[in-house]
A and B are shown apart, each in its own frame.
Chain A
C-alpha cells in the first residue's frame, strides 16, 4: 500500500516546488527523405515529421492529466539537416527551415531542433550551405532551432568554423534586432555534442539513433532546493545524499512518463536526460540551490565547488532511477532562464568569467548569455573557442548560446518572454583576440593521458 506521506510529498513537489517533466522530445530520422530537388525534399520531411509526430502532443497531454504531473514541452528533433539536405541542388537551406517550421506548427510542438551541422574536423558542401542559411532561417521561422558542433575531443577544434560562427551569431542578431536578437536564443554552438539530447535549442537526432525515439528531459531545481531546506547546518555529505535521493525521485517521474509515451506512441524509448533545468519562475532555480548550500550569492567563491557537487549528486541519484540515461545530463545554468542567476548578475556577483569556470563542472556551457550589441565578432568567436576548449580537454559537452543584442549595452535589460526569460546585459572583456581568431585552421585533438 502507498504511504500517505509519500503521496502528499509527491503532490507538494508538483504544486509548490515546480516539479515537472521539462520535455518529451521525439527524435525522427530524416535519412530516407533525401532528394536532389529541394521542394521534393521539403515535402518528404514535412510528411514524415507530421506523420510520425501526429499524436505526440495529444499523448503528452493525456499522460500529464492521468498522472497529474505537468509536461511543459513536447518537441521534435531531426537528423542534422546539413547531412540529409546535402544532395539537394541549392545554395540555401532556408526553404527547409520553413518546412520544419510548418511541420512543427502542424503537430503543435513549440520547437523543432536539427537545423544543424557537425563540423569538428571540417566542412562538407552541405555544412557550408547550412551554416550560411542559419541567420535567415532563424529570423524567418518561429520554432526552428539550429546548432553547430564544431569541436570534439577526438578531432580538436575547427577554428575556421569558430571564426565563422562569430559572424553568423552577429548576423542572426542583426536580422532579429526588432525582437532583441531572439534568433540567437535558437542557436547553439557545441563541442562534443550528444546525439540524443532532448533539450532545445541544441537537440538533434544523431545519425547513430534509431528511426524514431522518445527522449525525456526532467527538471526539478525547486524540489532540490526545498529538500535542502530541511538540512540547514548539516555537513556536505548530508547535502549530497539529499540531492541524490531527490534526483532519484525526479528521475523516476521522467522514467514513468518516458515509458508511457513510448508505449502509447509505439516509438522506442531512448534516454532520460538527467538535467536540472531551471525556469524563470521563482523557486525553480539552480542558483537558489547553490545559495541554499551556503553561498551568499551564486557567483561567490565556492560556487564552482558547490555546483560540481550538485551536478555529480544529481547524476548518481538519477542513474539509479533509470536504466537508460543520456543526453546532456547535468545542471543547466542558463542565465536568462534562471531567476537566481539573473539576480546574481544584477547584484554584480556573477560574471561571464565565473560562468565559464562553472561550465567546467556542469553541463552544458555558457547558456543564454546576453552581451552588448557592439561586442566584436572576434570576441564572440573567442568566447566560443574558450568554451569549446573546456569541452574538448575535459571530454565533456560544452555549448555557447550567446546573444549580442543590437543597441543594448551593459546595464540594459532584455526580455525574451516565456521560458527564455529575461536578462541583464553582461560585461564582456574588452581586450581583443582578433589576431588569434583570424589565424583559423584547426586546434589539434588533445592528448588523453598526462592530464594535469
Chain B
C-alpha cells in the first residue's frame, strides 16, 4: 500500500472536500481516512489516501491539487506518509 497524506488549510467554503475527492476519484486514488474541522473560520483537513491503484504518479496528483488549491485560495499539500511515520515513531 502506498499511503499519502493530504493536508488542506484555508478559508472555509462550500465544496472543498467534494472538489478534492473528485480529483482523487478521477485518478484512482482511494481515501482511507478524513479528519476535518473548522478553527476560527479556517478549514483544516488531513486526508490519508492509498495510491496503490492510482492511474498517475504522486507528482501529477500534487500538481492537480496545488492548481485546485490556487483556484480556491487553499494550501493543499500531498506528501508520502513515510516522513510522518519515521519522524514520530522510534
| Interface positions of A (Cβ within 8 A of B) | 1-4, 6-11, 62, 65-69, 248-249, 252-253, 255-256, 320
Contacts and interface: CB of A to CB of B under 8 A. Distances in A.
A255 B86 contact: yes
B33 interface: yes
Contacts of A62: 59
Those 4 A-B pairs whose CB atoms lie nearest each other, nearest first: A68-B79, A6-B88, A67-B83, A252-B86
Given A2-B85, A6-B88, A66 B80 contact: yes
Interface residues of B, number: 22
Interface string B35-79: 100000000001010000000001100100000000000000111
Chain A binding surface SS class: helix
Contacts of B79: 66-68
Contacts of B90: 248, 320
Interface of B: 5, 7, 33, 35, 46, 48, 58-59, 62, 77-88, 90
Contact of B87 (A1, A8, A10, A65): A10
B29 to A, nearest CB: 15
Contacts of B88: 2-3, 6, 9-10, 249
B33 A1 contact: yes
Contacts of A249: 87-88
A6 B84 contact: yes
A4 B80 contact: no
B83 A10 contact: yes
The secondary-structure label for the interface of chain B is mixed
Given A66-B58, A68-B79, A7 B84 contact: yes
Nearest to B86: A252
A290 to B, nearest CB: 25
A68 B83 contact: yes
A11 B86 contact: no
A432 to B, nearest CB: 52
27 contacts: A1-B33, A1-B48, A2-B48, A2-B81, A2-B88, A4-B46, A6-B88, A7-B7, A7-B84, A8-B7, A8-B46, A62-B59, A65-B59, A66-B58, A66-B80, A67-B79, A67-B82, A67-B83, A68-B77, A68-B78, A248-B90, A249-B88, A252-B86, A252-B87, A253-B83, A256-B82, A320-B90
A62 B58 CA distance: 10
Given A2-B5, A7-B46, A8-B46, A67 B80 contact: yes
A68 to B, nearest CB: 4
A248 B87 CA distance: 8
A256 B84 contact: no
Contacts of B82: 67, 256
A10 B83 CA distance: 8
B87 A253 contact: yes
Nearest to B37: A4
A3 B88 CA distance: 9
Interface centre among B46, B62, B80, B84, by most chain A C-beta atoms within 10 angstroms, is B84
A88 B19 CA distance: 65
Nearest to A5: B88
Contacts of B87: 6, 10, 249, 252-253
Contacts of A4: 35, 46
A65 B62 CA distance: 9
Q: Specify which of B48, B59, B82 lies most central, judged by the most chain A CB atoms within 10 Å of its CB.
A: B82
Q: Which residue of A3, A7, A65, A256 has the most chain B CB atoms within 10 A of its CB atom?
A: A7
Contacts of A7: 5, 7, 46, 84
